[in-house]
Amino acid sequence: MLDFQGDTPAYVASGTVKSTDGAFADRLRQIFESVGGIVQEFQPDIVVFESVFMHKNPGSALKLGHARSAAICATFEHKLEVFEYAPREIKQAVVGTGAATKEQVQHMVVSILKLGGTPAPDAADALAAALCHGNQRRMRARLGSGNMIAGQI
């Protein structure tokens, strides 16, 4: 989670939501409840997700899509703005190339946010998505195509 004051991102928190073994519906419920708890605790204004991409395993992409849906639905009660960016778009915004590796994304997230340690790859991806959105907000504001306010992402 990042807090933007103007164009400057500040690190607030990060981590990963993990579900335990069990029935798929139970794991989706755990994701839904975990994300709902995070939203309740930190009260962000905006949430940003990485879009699902089809790689080699369509079954994995479907399960990821279900997990993302559970996470997105957990934000509805709080009436948050939801934004979505493609993985290549996020990497391009943060690293400068859409073909960046996980390690390059982690390195740039640490560098941009001046973190004392390296976040886990999934947490770095989430922070990178928030940074991508911050870049998009700044660009739209400078081009005059939207009202942008300071807030947490």
Instruction: Indicate the CATH number for domain 2-152.
Output: 3.30.420.10
- Give Cα separations from 12 to 85, 105, 130 (angstroms): 21, 18, 12
| Mean of all residue pLDDT scores within the chain | 90
pLDDT tens-place string over residues 23-35: 999 999 999 999 9
DSSP-based three-state secondary structure for 2: strand
Q: In what order do the strands lie in the sheet with 8-11?
A: 8-11, 2-5, 151-152
Percent above pLDDT 70 for the chain: 93
Pair 150, 6: CB distance under 8 Å: yes
Q: What are phi and psi of 17, to 5 degrees?
A: -100, 120
The SS3 assignment for 124 reads helix
CB-based contacts of 69, cutoff 8 Å, min separation 6 = none
**Per-residue confidence at 144, pLDDT binned at 50, 70, 90?**
confident
The pLDDT tens digits for 21-68 are 899 999 999 999 999 999 999 999 999 999 987 667 888 888 889 999
- The pLDDT tens digits for 102-135 are 999 999 999 999 999 999 999 999 999 999 999 9
Domain boundaries, the chain: 2-152
